[in-house]
Amino acid sequence: MKKIKSLLLLSIGLIVGSAQAEKISIDRIFSSPALNGTTPKSLKFSPDGSRVTYLQGKASDKNRYDLWEYNLASKEHRLLVDSAALFSGTETLSDEEKARRERQRVYGFGIIEYTFANDGNALLFPLNGDIYYYNLADKKAKRLTETAEFETDARFSPKGNYVSFIREQNIYAINIDTGKELQLTKDGGGIIKNGMSEFVAQEEMGRMTGYWWSPDEKQIAFLRVDESPVQVAIRNEIYAQDIKLVEQRYPATGTNNVNIQLAVVKLSNKRTRFIDTGEETDIYLPRVQWLPNSVEVSYQWQSRDQQTLKLKVYNTKTRKQRTLLTEESDHWINLHDDLYFISDSKSFVWASERDGYKHLYHYDIKGNLINQLTQGEWVVDSVKAIDEKAGWIYFTGRADTPLERHLYKVPLDGKAPDHVVRISKRKGFHSVTFAGDQQSYIDSFSNIETAPQVSLHNLDGSMMTWLSQNELNQDHPSFNYLSDMVKPEFGSIKAADGKTQLFYKLFKPKTLKPGKKYPVIVKVYGGPHAQRVTNKWHGVDMFQYMVQQGYIVFQLDNRGSNYRGTDFEFDIYQHLGEVEVADQIEGVKFLRTLPYVDADRIGIYGHSYGGYMALMTMFKAGEYFKAGVSGAPVTDWLLYDTHYTERYLNHPQANAKGYQDSSVFPYIEGLDGPLMVYHGMADDNVLFTNTTKLIKALQDQNKRFELMTYPGSKHSMRGKKVKVHLNNTIIDFFNRQFNLAPE
């Protein structure tokens, strides 16, 4: 706790960039070149460890990505593939690909994803609906497909002899040497999807694929999704010049999900065998993974109420299966990707929250616990590598403080689960990618005073070289704005229960005028599986802009948010918008104790769950929140999807009162202050129906409000023009309500 306290009281000085800083504008924040610098993304080690590849936006267009490499021998960066050289026109995406990218929260053009062949000799990437193969030896890219149909989810087979992909909802494989194409499933189309992830898998489970190669590349396990049980939501997607009537199979909470089957297809004869997943069909199959022996395939079976999760293994030769372990909860089971089978297929590493915190466990292949690998009142983020020979497991986690993410290691023998070894050196947020030989790693790092940097490290944490130093020097895009930037203050308060610690960060004007009281914008998310108060770089962003306009900006992670253990999360179960609102009220009570805060000018703003929170606080706690902006809000949880909503609220039939009380509509009468609502008019996640229902209810109760809609925009509100207009509109709203003249 001393380490946490020291972080919370941290005083950080920013680099002074120039004697006279330029004033930041909203237009510049969302323009090229990116103010955070040209930090690479999608970094990967080549399998032989000779190069690091990455995607980087063009200087002229930060959203158009090319494929680059850093050669470890020559210590040089060079462009591998210029996306414009292969395709210079405007990309035309299929509806399926648009939806897939929206689920991935991927925005951009050109090369947006790529994979290595396991031998490290070639790369694969999609571009404008076709698949390209890049040979690293001759440095040439060739087009593997050239069809009118859109190919997605392309990848190499494990031995590199094939490239697989999805076309028209079926699985295909191309023999790279012969160019011969194999169609492995044939009944895809319409309501049947083979090898693809269903809506809730993409949006809520973090599973973007529906097929998996066996390590010997002789078989592919895949999911067959039948969408026929899912109700059709007929909605309008309103664009600037036309209106599309869309029939979307949207599994609203309490309604039917897809029928899902797990199967294995052999490449040699294209024969498909289905795996018996049990008599209960109203289930989820969130994860599938082959064992190293290529004979057995594991899958995770999740009950509809998400209170039971089983790890099962199917033998493709004997056709028998067994359950390795079962996780159970009175609330819900959080999914994860931390299942690692040891190479001899005789044991595996698994993550569990059974003791209240996510930790790692080692089991034998029969499901018997060998030992617990990590332990304590902190959480593991994810496993990054397992060095079986040396006997170490490497992972990221929060052992030092929940506000930072570090790289740690712990012995695989489990003899000291309380004593993990921290590897990362600098305080802040580390995202780590290991080399294939597990002898070095890439570290993508930032903290409040350090812009995102990428470096290469030895196993002891010592740095080998920079991949992107991204120094805040005179050449950096944000240099001319740095001297006016402010650092946030970190701290914590107690929740209303008097014991739960809630972390916050506070941005305030650089120079507070004596006796002056400032308006506050509470920037909220507040929902589960999220965290906003962290020691990571903000940069020259909307927070800095708001502060320059004379606002204080405040963020607080309420109960229900992530990385604090299950007790902290589970308080929201079966009743949303209660403890979250109570905790945000405690945040405002704290703000009111600050001599420079104007208690009568505290506003709240959020998007998605944050939009829901803005409504709930304005409706239920108007004496604390004087004005609010709600973006793309869920207003009635009966309108949201099964997997997310039932995880936290249970089935509507089992918790009708909880659904009613968690809706915004019982509290509309409490609205007294100014409210603005905005929503994208082509949102296929939080359907626009949430806002139209709110509009009608507000009108019926003669409540005044402001509304801004965005034709063609999805849930993420992508695009510079949209973001510039939206943020100008939000600032204008608060300026008017709080009588603050723009500076």
Q: How many CB atoms lie within 10 A of CB 148?
A: 5
- Token duo for residue 574: 């079966």
Is the sign of the CA dihedral 15, 401, 503, 515 positive or negative? negative
The closest of 421, 357, 432 to 391, measured between CA atoms, is 421
Please, what's the b/e burial string for 531-550 (b: 16 or more CB within 10 A of its CB; e: otherwise)? Answer: bbbbbbbbbbbbbbbbbbbb
Q: What angle do CA 386, 390, 393 make, to 5 degrees?
A: 30
Cα distances (angstroms) measured from residue 111 to each of 81, 107, 147, 382: 9, 11, 18, 27
Cα distances (angstroms) measured from residue 115 to each of 111, 143, 162, 203: 11, 15, 13, 22
600 belongs to the catalytic site: no
153 belongs to the catalytic site: no
Radius of gyration of the chain (CA): 26
DSSP secondary structure of 334-389:
PP---EEE-TTSSEEEEEE-TTSS-EEEEEETTS-EEEE---SSS-EEEEEEEETT
The closest of 636, 607, 618, 609 to 694, measured between CA atoms, is 636
- Give dist(CA 728, CA 722) in Å, integer: 10
Cα distances (angstroms) measured from residue 540 to each of 12, 31, 294, 306, 551: 16, 12, 49, 41, 15
The closest of 737, 733, 608, 624 to 670, measured between CA atoms, is 624
Q: How many CB atoms lie within 10 A of CB 152?
A: 22
CB 633 within 8 A of CB 615: yes
The closest of 153, 139, 125 to 54, measured between CA atoms, is 125
What residues contact 636, with CB distance under 8 A and at least 6 apart?
A: 663, 664, 665, 690, 693
End-to-end CA distance of the chain: 42
- Give dist(CA 675, CA 615) in Å, integer: 8
Catalytic residue chosen out of the listed positions 443, 484, 557, 683: 683
Residue 578 amino acid letter = E
Burial, 739: exposed, middle or buried (Cβ in 10 Å; 0-12, 13-18, 19+)? Answer: exposed
Catalytic residue chosen out of the listed positions 406, 476, 538, 715: 715
Sort residue 270 into left (φ over 0), alpha (ψ -120 to 50) or beta. left
- Token duo for residue 547: 């502060």
- Give dist(CA 311, CA 324) in Å, integer: 6
What residues contact 657, with CB distance under 8 A and at least 6 apart?
A: none
Catalytic residue chosen out of the listed positions 608, 630, 713, 716: 608
* Bond preceding residue 33 cis, omega within 30 of 0: yes
What residues contact 356, with CB distance under 8 A and at least 6 apart?
A: 377, 565, 566, 567
Torsion angles phi and psi, residue 597, rounded to 5: -100, 135
338 belongs to the catalytic site: no
Instruction: Write out the catalytic residue numbers.
Output: 608, 683, 715
